């Protein structure tokens, strides 16, 4: 199901640029082969043979359809693995009908664009009242997956599953036209805000194990870059609060690497409070609430790898504390998850279609601790059964 892509408008025949891109891709492939020796298949080690007709590669996301799709060592070489249906694979290079995709384990591989559904990268638009939501591309990133459970509540609720369901609810809100009551926060079927052009999940419920698979940080960040996403929102919930708070202890971490990320964070924070504060709970939180950034004291760059790698406006939303009994109980309910999802939806719409500053972001903090989670060094690429 090859589609005519908007990205192709930008394709220009410049042989020199393509040669450089292919050299870059080849270098990347060789590097991946070394770094991911533990992956369950051999990473491709061949670059394509340049042909007479060449185009500047477009970027975007390849959606693997029902039945899976073949990964190839190179254009017109050999397929070596059939990747699971329902996965979204970002591509940063195109060579004729072939896309150089990144797998969930950060390996690179080629797919034929006729074997996948192609989501063309977004065309950047300035935020404000003239922003056309119908042309917007959003990447939603449900935090954690598979062996990496994220936080776990006292009664056993896993953050990875909650995050996935909330992200899927945001996607459903974005995929239909809506009306928004900005004072109550209610989001209903309507016509004021059109459907977003494309909404991509890094872990999709249509994928293997209903979306419960491992996804490396680099893969997640690459999804935002390849899609030229108008916003990248990673959905999480927190653990280990430090004190009692009057309001939900929501925190939204922004990328200091990409302009606008702090405004996106401040707006989503305001919308989270509007949606969540009306629920009854013995709220917990930290010393700082709202829009935050953490920097690595050694490098001065964003502490969180996802935000450090960002090239589009990106945030990590920490909704509430799954480690606390009251908040775990709320996170177990569809009503609360929907309220969380509506807050993220409104936040993204406000970020794109207004010049609102949102809540004042906290100044970036140097972060000395290890907040890392399970690494992806035994990551598995899911195979189509």
Residues that bind Zn ion (CB under 5 A): 143, 150, 236
Compute the least distance from the CB of residue 212 to Zn ion, in Å: 14
Compute the least distance from the CB of residue 88 to Zn ion, in Å: 20
Residue among 143 and 285 whose Cβ is closer to Zn ion: 143
From CA 374, how far away is CA 173, in angstroms rounded?
31
Give the ranges where 277-324 is alpha helix by DSSP (H). 305-308
Token representation of residue 317: 């939303």
Compute the least distance from the CB of residue 161 to Zn ion, in Å: 12
Residue with tokens 């670059």: 47
Compute the least distance from the CB of residue 208 to Zn ion, in Å: 20
Direct distance between the N- and C-terminal alpha carbons of the chain, in angstroms, rounded to an integer: 21
Compute the least distance from the CB of residue 382 to Zn ion, in Å: 21
Residue among 163 and 225 whose Cβ is closer to Zn ion: 163
User: H/E element holding 225?
Assistant: helix 217-226
Compute the least distance from the CB of residue 339 to Zn ion, in Å: 19
Compute the least distance from the CB of residue 385 to Zn ion, in Å: 29
User: H/E element holding 167?
Assistant: helix 159-174
Residue among 196 and 304 whose Cβ is closer to Zn ion: 304
Residue among 33 and 305 whose Cβ is closer to Zn ion: 305
Contact in structure between 83 and 89 (CB atoms under 8 Å): yes
From CA 310, how far away is CA 312, in angstroms rounded?
6
From CA 164, how far away is CA 172, in angstroms rounded?
12
* C-alpha closest to that of 166 among 279, 277, 330, 307: 330
Contact in structure between 235 and 203 (CB atoms under 8 Å): no
Q: What CA–CA distances, in Å, run from 323 to 283, 285, 287?
A: 11, 11, 17
Token representation of residue 137: 């591309």
User: Minimal CB distance to Zn ion: which residue?
Assistant: 236
Residue among 122 and 143 whose Cβ is closer to Zn ion: 143
Residue among 70 and 148 whose Cβ is closer to Zn ion: 148
CA angle 19, 26, 20 (to 5 degrees): 20
Overall size of the chain counted in residues: 385
Compute the least distance from the CB of residue 203 to Zn ion, in Å: 13
Residue among 221 and 349 whose Cβ is closer to Zn ion: 221
HSE on the CB side for 259, CA within 13 Å? 2
Compute the least distance from the CB of residue 163 to Zn ion, in Å: 7
From CA 271, how far away is CA 4, in angstroms rounded?
37
Residue among 91 and 321 whose Cβ is closer to Zn ion: 321
According to DSSP, residue 193 is labeled B
Residue among 74 and 319 whose Cβ is closer to Zn ion: 319
From CA 378, how far away is CA 153, in angstroms rounded?
26
């Amino acid at each position: 199901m090859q589609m005519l892509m908007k990205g192709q408008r930008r394709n220009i025949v410049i042989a020199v640029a393509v040669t450089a891109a292919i050299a870059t891709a080849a270098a990347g492939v060789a590097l991946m082969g070394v770094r991911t020796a533990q992956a369950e298949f051999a990473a491709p080690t061949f670059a394509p043979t340049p042909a007479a007709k060449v185009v500047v590669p477009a970027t975007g996301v390849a959606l693997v359809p029902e039945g899976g799709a073949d990964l190839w060592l190179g254009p017109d070489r050999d397929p070596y693995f059939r990747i699971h249906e329902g996965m979204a694979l970002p591509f940063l290079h195109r060579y004729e009908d072939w896309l150089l995709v990144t797998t969930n384990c950060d390996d690179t591989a080629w797919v034929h664009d006729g074997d996948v559904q192609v989501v063309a990268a977004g065309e950047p638009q300035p935020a404000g009242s003239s922003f056309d939501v119908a042309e917007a591309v959003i990447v939603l990133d449900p935090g954690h997956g598979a062996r990496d459970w994220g936080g776990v509540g006292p009664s056993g609720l896993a953050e990875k599953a909650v995050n996935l369901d909330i992200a899927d609810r945001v996607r459903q809100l974005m995929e239909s036209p809506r009306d928004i009551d900005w004072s109550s926060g209610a989001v209903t079927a309507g016509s004021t805000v059109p459907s977003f052009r494309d909404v991509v999940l890094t872990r999709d419920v249509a994928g293997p194990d209903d979306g419960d698979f491992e996804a490396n940080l680099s893969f997640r960040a690459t999804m935002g870059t390849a899609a030229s996403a108008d916003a990248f929102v990673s959905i999480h919930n927190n653990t280990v609060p430090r004190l009692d708070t009057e309001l939900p202890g929501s925190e939204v971490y922004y990328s200091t690497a990409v302009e606008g990320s702090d405004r996106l964070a401040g707006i989503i924070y305001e919308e989270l409070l509007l949606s969540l504060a009306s629920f009854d709970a013995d709220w917990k939180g930290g010393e700082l609430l709202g829009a935050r950034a953490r920097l690595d004291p050694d490098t001065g760059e964003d502490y969180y790898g996802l935000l450090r790698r960002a090239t589009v406006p990106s945030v990590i939303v920490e909704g509430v504390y799954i480690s606390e009994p009251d908040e775990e109980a709320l996170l177990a309910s569809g009503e609360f998850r929907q309220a969380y999802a509506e807050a993220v939806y409104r936040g993204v719409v406000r970020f794109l279609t207004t010049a609102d500053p949102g809540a004042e972001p906290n100044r970036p903090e140097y972060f000395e601790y290890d907040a890392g989670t399970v690494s992806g060094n035994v990551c598995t690429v899911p195979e189509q059964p």
